[in-house]
Structure formats: C-alpha cells, structure tokens
Amino acid sequence: AQKITQTQPGMFVQEKEAVTLDCTYDTSDPSYGLFWYKQPSSGEMIFLIYQGSYDQQNATEGRYSLNFQKARKSANLVISASQLGDSAMYFCAMRGQSSGSARQLTFGSGTQLTVLP
Amino acid sequence: EPEVTQTPSHQVTQMGQEVILRCVPISNHLYFYWYRQILGQKVEFLVSFYNNEISEKSEIFDDQFSVERPDGSNFTLKIRSTKLEDSAMYFCASTRVTGSPNQPQHFGDGTRLSIL
C-alpha cells in the first residue's frame, strides 16, 4: 500500500518570498513517481512537477522545485518568489508499481497556501 | 497544448436519478481515470480504463457506477441511482503510457456534482 502525508493543512507566505510545502510518502515499491498538483479555488487540478525515484537530480520547473530526499522519503515542493496567484490548494501524489497495473495516483490531504500582499 | 475536457462543469440532480459525466481525454492517451473529491477532502481514485475495459477500481466504485468509452473520443462515468453522498467534484484524467510510473496524469477541470 502507498501513503502520502501532508502535515501542513495551511501555510502563509509573504509575496516574493519562498515557501516549502512538505510531503512525506511511504511505499515499498522500488520504482515510483512523485507529483505535485495545484488546485485553485475554481477547482481544476493543474500538474506542476514530478520526480522519479531514480532521478539523480531534483526536479525543477520554473519557480517550482522539488526537494527530494529519498532516504527520508520526502518530496517537498519549493515555490520561489511567491505570487498572489500561487494561492491555492497543493496536493502531493505518487504512483508506483503497487498502484495497480494502471498506476493510479494516491493523493495526500493537501496544503492550502495563502500568499499575502 | 492538448487538454482533457469535461462536461458539464456543474450538474445538479435529484437523489435517485441517473447521471452521466462526460470526458474527452487527450487524443493520443491510452489510459483513462476517474477520481472523486468530496468537498474539503483529498482526491480519491475511482476507476482506471484501458483497452476498452476496466483496469483497476477502488472500493468506492460499486455497482452503482459504470464507465464506458462509447466512441473513439468520449469517456463517461455513469452513476445509476445517485445518493446524497455522491455529491463531489469528479475528475477525469488521462495519461499516454503507464509502463513507467513517472508519467504524469493530466486532469480535466472537473464536474461538480450536487445531489439534492
């Protein structure tokens, strides 16, 4: 079984500051992928970034980067230079070999990020 | 950039009625999924679909639910006799291949289902 834990139900950050959203996971799969999605108040799910378990380098995508610490089973999302439009719910998710043959995603409970002007 | 599209964006239905939620996955994608998000809760997997049949399904996906790919583009989720607890946001997702666990799933904007 796979499990994703997001321990921060809510986070606040000042505009232009960096913020780290925590995600820890539990799996016995040797190969897996970790994903972050953004859900604005309008409800859609926007894919942000992913990290493969065998990737040597941490993933980066514009202002998003993933601080992947495999030994600690953590995959924290770092947002640099926060903008007001970053205010949203952020979900960490994973999929691996034990996700089923179709590799469905397992989601965490989410972190509500509020960017303050 | 290709998108997953879902219709309708909001569906209001009386309890006990049948409802069909529609999705058009990205055209070259092969795996399709339905997820559910009850208000304020995490996103939960319902069912996956590949090669015109269900690949995996969760405990939530009971006999009241069914999925279909009636033509080459649409992917539908049917709830036969809706219950109040079916009120949720329903997301369709697709991915091109699934051999590697690193392929992201692309989500539609969701259908908000409200059962009265």
Residue A60 near chain B (CB below 8 Å): no
Residue A57 near chain B (CB below 8 Å): no
Per-residue pLDDT, averaged over B1-27, amounts to 93
* Angstrom distance (rounded) from CA B111 to CA A55: 35
Per-residue pLDDT in tens (0 to 9) along chain A, 117 residues: 789 999 999 999 999 999 999 999 998 888 888 999 999 998 889 999 999 888 889 999 999 999 999 999 999 999 999 999 999 999 999 987 665 656 788 999 999 999 999
Predicted pLDDT of residue B105: 87
The model's pLDDT over B54-102, given as tens digits with 9 standing for 90+, comes to 988 999 999 999 999 988 789 999 999 999 999 999 999 998 875 555 6
Chain B's closest residue to A35, CA to CA, is B104
Predicted pLDDT of residue A99: 57
Predicted pLDDT of residue A43: 87
Please say whether the dihedral angle defined by the alpha carbons of residues B58, A26, A49 and A114, taken in this order, is positive or negative: positive
Which residue did the predictor score with more confidence, B110 or B1? B110
* Angstrom distance (rounded) from CA A46 to CA B38: 18
Q: Judge contact between A34 and A50, C-beta under 8 A.
A: yes
Average per-residue pLDDT for chain B: 91
Chain A hits for B101, Cβ within 8 Å: 29, 31-33, 52-53, 95-97, 99, 103
Q: Which of A23, A25, A42, A45 to mutate: most B Cβ within 10 Å?
A: A45
- Least confident range from A67-76, B9-18, B102-111: namely B102-111
Report the Cα–Cα distance between both ends of chain A, in Å, rounded.
41
Chain B residues in contact with chain A using a Cβ-Cβ cutoff of 8 Å = 31, 33, 35, 41-45, 48-50, 55-56, 89, 91, 93, 95, 98, 100-110, 112
Chain A hits for B45, Cβ within 8 Å: 104-106
Q: Judge contact between A86 and A64, C-beta under 8 A.
A: no
CB atoms within 10 A of CB B103: 19
CB-CB under 8 Å, A47 with B104? yes
Cis, peptide link before residue A117, omega less than 30° from 0: no
- How many A-B residue pairs are in contact by the CB < 8 A criterion? 82
CA atoms within 13 A on the CB side of B72: 2
Predicted pLDDT of residue A83: 97
CB-CB under 8 Å, B109 with A103? no
Residues shown for chain A: 117
